[in-house]
Structure 1
Amino acid sequence: MLHWFPTPYPDELLYSVLARYHVRSGNTSPKMTTEELFGKRTVRSVWDLPANLNALLKNTGDYWNAEQLIFNYTMYPYYAAFLLPLQAKQVKLAMMNDEGSTIHTRIGMAASNVKLKENFWVCSNCIKEDMETYGETYWRRIHQCPGVFFCPQHEIELEETIAPVRDYNQHEYIVATPSVNRRKIDVSELKKDEVQLLKKISQSSYTLLTMNYLQKGNNSLRNKFLELLKQNEYATPNGRVKRERLYHSFNVKFSTRCLELLQSTVEFDETDWLTMIFQKHRKSFHPIRHLLVMSFLDTDLNHIFDKNEYHPFGKGPWLCLNAICSDYRKRVVKDLRITLDYDTRKPVGTFQCDCGFIYSRKGPDRNEEDKFRIGTIKEYGHVWKQKLTTAVNEGKTLTEIAREFQADRATIKKYADKLQLNVPWKAPKIVTKIVQDSIEDLEKQLQLRKEKWLEIQELYPEKSKTELRKLVPDVYAFLYRNDRDWLNDFSPIKNKIQTPNHRVDWKKRDEELLALLKQAVQNWDFDAEKPTRITATSLGKKINKLSVFEKKSEKLPESMNFISKVSEDLVAFQKRRVEFCIKKLKEEGEPIIEWQIYRKAGLRSDVSNEVKRFISLKVTQYESPNNK
């Protein structure tokens, strides 16, 4: 048993500890040191995942226990987090025993395209602090991780030394010194977002080394990824990955230069790692690639491994975004309710301040700017209304109030009218709506829709109640809400008829579905507050036939051709939102100006140039004398 042993430093490699022991022992041969440490001379000096640890523990006595040694001073936790449970267990056993030759094969490193660093890497600031604190420096685990080019503690570029991780002498231990020759990597040509990605990878790699994550089941990690793919519309509800959309978005988010640095470029191929990582895991994938997928899906290690609660909007308190509140943009909001969007399954946060201001937005927050974003204002609150009253009484103009309250003029008009304030401007146009307290109007509307419901039955006597509902969904919904008993009494009765088992006439089915699709497109966004995008998925959901289109698309050529023609890409949908917005502004008598269109249509300033030109053209058209 050894009479003394160096005290390990934070995040120090076991290899580095053994190298310091070798120097201080005064041994002239590394094999002498190996024999003292392991009881035999044949053990190789492996820097990342060493074996024969039981023998080392036996010689160091009670200085360490096995778990502490493996998780705190080797690279095991970096790889084990993404191994299948049985794999992780087998690797740990191999490290404890003398099965070092099997370790790198078990974790998939031998066949991986992501190669290890050839030399040891260091941080100049870490070396300086080590010399001031300990009087010596050492090899840190985090600096040797593949893909780590920045120190997570100091956020500066790492430096590559000339000290090889695999010396020509397999038993040699190379000690870290402050004077070791090294060169700093050049990141001057990298863009800001590329540097941020590399820093994020460094931070996540350090978290892997320190948090000791392990998978609970064979496909728990893959299942988490698949659920996030569905939420972000990169997979269908049945779990089929939309590979074209996935690859396109992945290449947009990550530059080729960064993917090359991280040894993780992608190709649209069935055997590509980005395709296979979302399939059942029968092989290992390098941690870098898991971290890239997590960054792409805007999630983190704690969420993936269920270490703590998922915070899609960060931890509270959150910002009050009431422009005239004394706590504007201060972290005072403690009331947050999170729900899931029905269609996208993304989190929707509803924030309520003590001033009464309630707003919501869809998450998760992707950057710092998102915290200042309002999706929908649900309630302006008592403070807002009180200050509006004061502003009107002080004689401020509509423009002054709109600017101060950061609200459009129509909103100011609307609430001034609701508060019955004495204003110098024209009252807003009153749009007639069906409300419960207008009995006479309700009866009139009911009668009109009852007549429509009976009329549609006469036109299509063979159709069932469900089929009629799809033809006139607005009529059905109104009657269902306001006179359900009458609707049940004056609807076709469902007859249970035993039909013989026969093959589906897919040509006829195709014609029927095509008719439903045309009807759905014709009534698209009817009476809607805002437009929705026409896609294959939204059309399928609209007529309640999404599963048919997904499973039997090859048997429905006419329907699929129609869907392909009417489906909107993002640019087309944004243009239609612009036209919808302009129509609303005209109806409300508001000026057609660019910033109003961007705001009303919910468009960001970084939309495509084609959409920007379209907006400018529309504004120019409405500014011409013929449109005034």
Structure 2
Amino acid sequence: MLAYFPSLYPDEIIYSGIARYHLMSGNRTQKQTIFDLFGSRLVCATADLPSHLSALAARSGTVYTTEELIKNHTLYPYYTSYGSKDKAKELFRLMAEGSNRGESHVLMGIPACKIKLPTKLKYCSSCYQDDTKKYGEPYWHRCHQLPGVHICPMHKSILKVSTVEYSTLHHKFSFVSLTNYNESDYTEPVVDSSWLDYLTFIAVQSNLLLHSQQIIKEESASYRKLPSMEGYRTVGGRVRINRLIQNFRNSYTDKLLEYLDCGIDSNSSDTWLHKIIRNQEEITHPLRHLLIFGFLEKSVAGFSVTTNNFPFGNGPWPCLNKAADHYNQMVIDKCVVTRCSTTTKPVGTFHCNCGFIYSRRGPDTCDEDMNRIGRIKNFGSIWLDKLKCLNESSITLRQKAKILGVDPGTVKNQTELLNSNKAALRTKKNQNYLARSKRNRNNEKGFLQTKVKRKVDWNQRDEILYVLVVETVGQMKRLPNPERISLASIARHTDLGQLKQKLIKNLNKLPKTNEFINKHIDSTEAYQIRRLIWAANRLHEVEGRMSGWRVLKLAGLNHPLRKEVEIKFMELLR
């Protein structure tokens, strides 16, 4: 099991988390990092549909389950959104257990599809800045790496194309962190201004597919039954396919369709649009479904393609817990979107940190919808504490309901539930009390005192840990092969036993130890300079001479070097 694995940020791809882990671990090679995380050196650096995730989940302990990694940090929800449940289960198995190279992609028809995968990883400058302010570092977002997505769904800005390769063709075992990437080294694609609304629609809808919590099986036949298709149906129910294709091409333009790898040959009677409308049993890329959806909404139903097609907006959303001080304030940043099993309309479930969870059926059509509750799924401790206080007062049932923002029946039900819980606790306490002997009852106070958990003396613990940490850092600096000094490596080398986790989790309560660690911990530049000095000294001792490339090879470094490291490297060669 790993001593440490970084927390994955919202919408972060696993590739990005592994790249950040590699920087923190101080490993000399990427293959060593891959072996640490997966127990194998043959796992490829895959950005979209990685494999062997059960091994990664097991080695990270109880931090993440395999399902959480696959559904929240890969493109699995996107590619299974319009597919069959059998294919989704098989893809999940391949990603969890591991597969031959490219097997997951072949299963979903990606190599055979004309819609090509992105060649480079993409990022949004606004997201880069926001993530750095909020988390202290930027990271690669899932929603930016989807095929056909050239706009950030959050900021509606054009994505920048990095120099980091998307596929594993030329860097099979290389994970590149966005933190380590030079932000100024990018290209910004030239996009026709008339395409922006369409591309924004695709980005927002693609992001919605990523955050869907269930498989959306859209039968192609349903397109023929939509009211939007009324003008394309004959009396006998057949589709006027030529008229549909002509209007479809006029709406998007052939240039945009070619740009998205979704061009339609006017002379063919077997295009991808024919196949979707005819409901042929074959895999169809989610991007093409989104194009049809956008076309029908825009040209037939009378709705214009806007830059805000997320069914409940892009957040944050208000907390509607009337018992909380932050009532009606925009403090909720988590909205889980599912589909109603009867109407297929989107259902948003909003989670507030106060424990209040509510849901409503969408999509939102006006600003007032944001303040509407369909169902309360959890009241939370703040709401229940308020109910207890109101029950001790003399106000009426309707007044309580008005204060709490619910109906009187809900107040009665929750009060009965509270009382039943109290009664159950009281009964259990009485049974335990009667089971005690007379001697135990007379010594109840002393008995309870012996069960009180002893308070930790953090000052004393700080002194003990300080001595151990100082000794450990000294030993690490004397190692024959330099190792990066970090909090995790100090904890790994220190003989602390059960105190190891306390050192990591409670460092803010150990001021003396914390100050020493902050002074001696290695930055990336400092660690690389230490390796250069060690490599140079080693070559002098063994061979009596040194050359630049030998120093870099022994130190495990490559060009380009960071500025401080480059300066030290040139000094060593003089």
CA-CA distance at 1:306 after TM superposition: 3.8
Q: Counterpart amino acid of 1:179?
A: N
CA-CA distance at 1:90 after TM superposition: 0.8
Query: Kindly tell me: are residues 237 and 104 of structure 1, through their superposed partners in 2, closer, same or farther at Cα, counting changes over 3 Å?
Result: farther
> Which residue number corresponds to residue 266 of structure 1?
264
Tell me the TM-score normalized by structure 2: 0.51
Does the Cα contact within 8 Å between 1:234 and 1:242 map onto a contact in 2? yes
Residue pairs, 1:504-519, within 5 angstroms: none
Name the CA distance, whole Å, in 2 between partners of 1:82 and 1:206. Answer: 14
Deviations 1:323-364 (A, max 9, x none): xxxxxxxxxxxxxxxxxxxxxxxxxxxxxxxxxxxxxxxxxx
Deviations 1:418-458 (A, max 9, x none): xxxxxxxxxxxxxxxxxxxxxxxxxxxxxxxxxxxxxxxxx
Does the Cα contact within 8 Å between 2:12 and 2:142 map onto a contact in 1? yes
- Please state whether the residue corresponding to 1:277 is helix, strand or coil: helix
> Which residue number corresponds to residue 207 of structure 2?
206
Does the Cα contact within 8 Å between 1:54 and 1:96 map onto a contact in 2? yes
CA-CA distance at 1:231 after TM superposition: 4.1
Name the CA distance, whole Å, in 1 between partners of 2:361 and 2:249. Answer: 27
Name the CA distance, whole Å, in 2 between partners of 1:11 and 1:182. Answer: 22
> Which residue number corresponds to residue 173 of structure 1?
175
Query: Kindly tell me: are residues 153 and 227 of structure 1, through their superposed partners in 2, closer, same or farther at Cα, counting changes over 3 Å?
Result: same
Query: Kindly tell me: are residues 79 and 238 of structure 1, through their superposed partners in 2, closer, same or farther at Cα, counting changes over 3 Å?
Result: farther
> Which residue number corresponds to residue 278 of structure 1?
277
CA-CA distance at 1:179 after TM superposition: 2.2
Name the CA distance, whole Å, in 1 between partners of 2:130 and 2:362. Answer: 35
Is 1:186 matched up with 2:190? yes
Residue pairs, 1:480-499, within 5 angstroms: none
Q: Counterpart amino acid of 1:140?
A: H
Does the Cα contact within 8 Å between 1:142 and 1:205 map onto a contact in 2? yes
RMSD of equivalent CA atoms = 2.5
> Which residue number corresponds to residue 133 of structure 1?
134
Identity among equivalent positions (%) equals: 32
- Please state whether the residue corresponding to 2:211 is helix, strand or coil: helix
Query: Kindly tell me: are residues 317 and 155 of structure 1, through their superposed partners in 2, closer, same or farther at Cα, counting changes over 3 Å?
Result: closer
Name the CA distance, whole Å, in 1 between partners of 2:227 and 2:271. Answer: 17
Tell me the TM-score normalized by structure 1: 0.47
Is 1:148 matched up with 2:156? no
Does the Cα contact within 8 Å between 1:230 and 1:237 map onto a contact in 2? no
- Which consecutive residues of structure 2, in runs of 5 or more, have no partner in the other structure? 302-308, 312-338, 348-359, 370-574
Q: Counterpart amino acid of 2:279?
A: K
Does the Cα contact within 8 Å between 1:51 and 1:97 map onto a contact in 2? yes
CA-CA distance at 1:239 after TM superposition: 4.2
Query: Kindly tell me: are residues 24 and 230 of structure 1, through their superposed partners in 2, closer, same or farther at Cα, counting changes over 3 Å?
Result: closer
Query: Kindly tell me: are residues 310 and 224 of structure 1, through their superposed partners in 2, closer, same or farther at Cα, counting changes over 3 Å?
Result: farther
> Which residue number corresponds to residue 47 of structure 2?
47
Name the CA distance, whole Å, in 1 between partners of 2:18 and 2:64. Answer: 14
> Which residue number corresponds to residue 249 of structure 2?
251
Name the CA distance, whole Å, in 2 between partners of 1:185 and 1:105. Answer: 29
CA-CA distance at 1:96 after TM superposition: 0.8
Residue pairs, 1:271-310, within 5 angstroms: 271-298=270-297, 305-308=344-347
CA-CA distance at 1:233 after TM superposition: 2.5
Q: Counterpart amino acid of 1:246?
A: L
Selected match of 2:225 from 217, 224, 227: 227
Q: Counterpart amino acid of 1:190?
A: S
Does the Cα contact within 8 Å between 2:346 and 2:363 map onto a contact in 1? no
> Which residue number corresponds to residue 450 of structure 1?
none
CA-CA distance at 1:213 after TM superposition: 4.1
CA-CA distance at 1:57 after TM superposition: 1.3
> Which residue number corresponds to residue 325 of structure 2?
none
Does the Cα contact within 8 Å between 1:85 and 1:215 map onto a contact in 2? no
Does the Cα contact within 8 Å between 1:230 and 1:236 map onto a contact in 2? no
> Which residue number corresponds to residue 314 of structure 2?
none
Query: Kindly tell me: are residues 222 and 30 of structure 1, through their superposed partners in 2, closer, same or farther at Cα, counting changes over 3 Å?
Result: same
Name the CA distance, whole Å, in 2 between partners of 1:169 and 1:151. Answer: 26
Which protein has greater RCO, CA pairs closer than 8 Å, 6+ apart? 2
Query: Kindly tell me: are residues 92 and 50 of structure 1, through their superposed partners in 2, closer, same or farther at Cα, counting changes over 3 Å?
Result: same
Q: Counterpart amino acid of 1:264?
A: C
> Which residue number corresponds to residue 516 of structure 1?
none
Name the CA distance, whole Å, in 1 between partners of 2:367 and 2:2. Answer: 52
Does the Cα contact within 8 Å between 1:142 and 1:209 map onto a contact in 2? yes
CA-CA distance at 1:257 after TM superposition: 2.1
CA-CA distance at 1:316 after TM superposition: 8.8
Query: Kindly tell me: are residues 103 and 312 of structure 1, through their superposed partners in 2, closer, same or farther at Cα, counting changes over 3 Å?
Result: closer
- Please state whether the residue corresponding to 2:121 is helix, strand or coil: strand
CA-CA distance at 1:235 after TM superposition: 2.8
- Greater Rg by CA: 1
Query: Kindly tell me: are residues 271 and 134 of structure 1, through their superposed partners in 2, closer, same or farther at Cα, counting changes over 3 Å?
Result: same
Deviations 1:556-581 (A, max 9, x none): xxxxxxxxxxxxxxxxxxxxxxxxxx
Query: Kindly tell me: are residues 92 and 239 of structure 1, through their superposed partners in 2, closer, same or farther at Cα, counting changes over 3 Å?
Result: farther
Is 1:104 matched up with 2:108? no
CA-CA distance at 1:85 after TM superposition: 1.4
Query: Kindly tell me: are residues 65 and 98 of structure 1, through their superposed partners in 2, closer, same or farther at Cα, counting changes over 3 Å?
Result: same
- Please state whether the residue corresponding to 1:162 is helix, strand or coil: strand
Does the Cα contact within 8 Å between 1:229 and 1:297 map onto a contact in 2? no
- Which consecutive residues of structure 1, in runs of 5 or more, have no partner in the other structure? 319-628
Residue pairs, 1:72-87, within 5 angstroms: 72-87=72-87
> Which residue number corresponds to residue 22 of structure 1?
22
Does the Cα contact within 8 Å between 1:121 and 1:161 map onto a contact in 2? yes
- Please state whether the residue corresponding to 2:122 is helix, strand or coil: strand
- Please state whether the residue corresponding to 1:211 is helix, strand or coil: coil
- Please state whether the residue corresponding to 1:221 is helix, strand or coil: coil
Name the CA distance, whole Å, in 1 between partners of 2:269 and 2:229. Answer: 23
Name the CA distance, whole Å, in 2 between partners of 1:232 and 1:292. Answer: 18
- Please state whether the residue corresponding to 1:149 is helix, strand or coil: coil
Q: Counterpart amino acid of 1:129?
A: D
Q: Counterpart amino acid of 1:184?
A: E
Q: Counterpart amino acid of 2:286?
A: P
Name the CA distance, whole Å, in 2 between partners of 1:60 and 1:248. Answer: 53
- Please state whether the residue corresponding to 2:127 is helix, strand or coil: helix
> Which residue number corresponds to residue 66 of structure 1?
66
Query: Kindly tell me: are residues 222 and 170 of structure 1, through their superposed partners in 2, closer, same or farther at Cα, counting changes over 3 Å?
Result: same
CA-CA distance at 1:245 after TM superposition: 1.1
> Which residue number corresponds to residue 530 of structure 1?
none
Name the CA distance, whole Å, in 2 between partners of 1:113 and 1:213. Answer: 27
In the comparison of the two structures, how many residue pairs are matched? 312
Name the CA distance, whole Å, in 1 between partners of 2:279 and 2:176. Answer: 41
Does the Cα contact within 8 Å between 2:345 and 2:363 map onto a contact in 1? no
CA-CA distance at 1:244 after TM superposition: 1.1
Name the CA distance, whole Å, in 2 between partners of 1:224 and 1:315. Answer: 27
- Please state whether the residue corresponding to 1:152 is helix, strand or coil: coil
